[in-house]
Amino acid sequence: MLTGDGGKIARVARIWRGRTVPGKADDYAAYLLEVGVKPLAAKALGAQMFREDREGESEFVTISYWESVDAMSRFAGPDPRRIHHLERDAEFLIELPESVQVLEIVLDRAPSGEEAK
């Protein structure tokens, strides 16, 4: 069960995806972590960054966790589905993503096996 300061429980996930060419993947990973994910993690209940290297491209996925869409909106603006490109995204990414996904967390399992409510 993902909880933040004050015992707030994550009820919403915000998912961003972007792709780059293999020759830029390591530099983008470092940039995304420092400029995108670390500031995001400081505001969200939690954040994760994933990378998949494939032939011809590397895909990055960041997931942040929030107590509500309202809480997410305080960070992302009035429309949390609106994309906020980092300053150098156009330099690194194959194409600029047009949106993010916002999903309600329907099931969250605590390490003990008990379901979160």
3-class DSSP state of 82: strand
Higher-pLDDT residue of 71, 2: 71
Mean pLDDT for the stretch of residues 33-59: 96
Residue extents of the structural domains in the chain: 5-104
**Per-residue pLDDT reduced to its tens digit, 80-90:** 888 889 999 99
- The reported pTM is 0.86
* Domain 5-104, second-level architecture: 2-Layer Sandwich (3.30)
